[in-house]
Amino acid sequence: MASQLAVPGPAKLEAVTKLMSKLDADLETQTLAVNELVAYLEQLKLLGRDPRSADPIFAPNGIKTLARYAFESPQRATARGALKVLANSMLLVPNTRREFLTLGHEGAIISNLARHAEHMRENPSGPVIPMEDMAVNETLRLLFNVTHFAPLRKPLFTPAIPLIVTLLWKQDINPSKPLDPPFSSLINALLNLDFEDPEVQSSLCPQSPEASDQPSRVAARLVTLLDLSLKPGIYAEGELDQLLSPLVGVLAYVEAAATEEVKQYLRATLLPTEKDREEVLGKGTSLGSRVLKLSNNPMTPKLGDVASHLLYSLSDKDASKFVANVGFGYASGFLAKNNIPTPGNMAETSDELAARPFNPVTGQFLDSERVVELPEMTEDEKLREAERLYDLFERLKRTGIIDVQNPVEEAIRSGRFQEMDENRVTEVDSD
């Protein structure tokens, strides 16, 4: 029925009006069965995908009615159906976001999450209940929409952070699809929240005698999701920008709010290792190498930017340490883009920060670099190269941008070269 009425027009408007009237009336009479309420909400979800001729859904009274079903209904199926319609409404019609916020349901969203977190604590090994999982996902989706479209309200949702962190252990991670719900929903919901609140640190870096509450426990859970997501064949390259940008962004927030112990764990896990330096950085298979490759992948620009910021933070936001950690080849673009001065003597920095000197550009240990044996140039090849360099410097001089001395001219004037004929020069033996 709903699909037939989806075309904007009087018939659709009449259908939406009747559905909203029935739902509104039943808040007082409570005569409709649960399956009827769920069916009406499902029809509203379909009809509301196009806001045209669906005004009653997005009107102040419509949002109020849907919010009451979402947060006051004792039936999970009904609440979940209403949450879906609400989340879609806030995505499609900006005015509904303001209307929802005026109702003061921030506490109801947090209470919903608290109920799910408490249920998980009481039944840590219990079976996954699909209906409950779907309800959690819809609550998280609504939370994301509220905080995304009304960022000034995000401090009101800071109490949700420890609850969402708890739900990271709601079920085991599926190695073949690690970011399937609920994990994608949990990560997205965290993305817009306020990690700078001092009270948040205890939930991100738990200090408890219990073995399960080691300080790096939360960071390790996020790192596991990242590691599994970057395994070959798990996600296509075209999916990474959308899927992994929120996860790496949340890792950056956790790192910024973390204790020094957790920061050390993240550095050891996400920065290139000593073993990685046996070859040019970014060529290895460690997690640090894979994250580094992400930072410079033209196919994932958004993810690359977030990954670079994370690596820079892991380097104490110090340009010298950043170059030493990832190599100037990877660091240069980020530094230039963010107007961060390039370190002066990179070679000295690399010697100071490592027992074995490494190439500051590639990050590879100097004693591991392969020496490439090039064949001796013939006289004709030398001549062509000299002519090419001569032309290059002449063009630079003509631009007037920089004052450059042509080295070939200088060599001839100083007597380092002597003419052999009108087209050839040879270097004079200095001995």
Average pLDDT over residues 397-406: 64
Instruction: Specify the pLDDT at position 373.
Output: 62
Q: Is residue 14 part of a domain?
A: no
Average pLDDT over residues 172-182: 93
414 is in which domain, residue-wise? 379-427
What are 218-230's pLDDT values in tens digits? 999 999 999 999 9
What are 359-380's pLDDT values in tens digits? 777 767 665 666 656 677 888 8
Instruction: Specify the pLDDT at position 389.
Output: 78
Average pLDDT over residues 258-267: 95
d(Cα 201, Cα 207) in Å, to the nearest integer? 10
Q: Is residue 405 part of a domain?
A: yes
208 exposed, middle or buried (CB, 10 Å; 0-12, 13-18, 19+)? exposed
d(Cα 361, Cα 280) in Å, to the nearest integer? 9
What are 123-135's pLDDT values in tens digits? 776 666 777 788 8
Is residue 211's pLDDT more than 50? no
What are 104-127's pLDDT values in tens digits? 888 889 998 998 888 888 777 666
Instruction: Specify the pLDDT at position 50.
Output: 92
d(Cα 147, Cα 399) in Å, to the nearest integer? 52
Nearest to 136 by CA among 181, 169, 193: 181
d(Cα 85, Cα 92) in Å, to the nearest integer? 11
Is residue 90's pLDDT more than 70? yes
Instruction: Specify the pLDDT at position 94.
Output: 87
Give 135's contacts (C-beta < 8 A, 6+ positions apart).
76, 79, 80, 83, 112, 116
Instruction: Specify the pLDDT at position 199.
Output: 82
Q: Is residue 245 part of a domain?
A: no
Is residue 430's pLDDT more than 50? no
Helices (H) and strands (E) in the chain, counts: 21, 2
d(Cα 369, Cα 278) in Å, to the nearest integer? 8
d(Cα 16, Cα 10) in Å, to the nearest integer? 10
Other beta carbons less than 10 A from residue 394's beta carbon: 13
Taking each helix axis from N to C end, the angle separating 34-47 and 76-92, rounded to the nearest 10 degrees, works out to 10
Q: Is residue 416 part of a domain?
A: yes
Give the chain's end-to-end CA distance (angstroms, integer). 97
pLDDT band at 196 (very low <50, low <70, confident <90, very high): confident
Average pLDDT over residues 329-350: 79
Q: Is residue 391 part of a domain?
A: yes
Other beta carbons less than 10 A from residue 168's beta carbon: 19
Q: Is residue 193 part of a domain?
A: no
Distance of CA 294 to the CA centre of its chain: 11
Q: Which residues of 296-334 are buried (b: 16+ CB within 10 A; e: fewer)?
A: beeebeebbbbbbbbbbbbbeeebbbbbbbbbbbbbeeb
Q: Is residue 384 part of a domain?
A: yes
Q: Residue 295 in 3-state DSSP?
A: coil
Q: Which of 30-34, 181-185, 273-277 has the lowest mean pLDDT?
A: 273-277
As a whole number, the mean pLDDT across the chain is 85
d(Cα 328, Cα 357) in Å, to the nearest integer? 15
Q: Is residue 387 part of a domain?
A: yes
Our count of domains for the chain comes to: 1
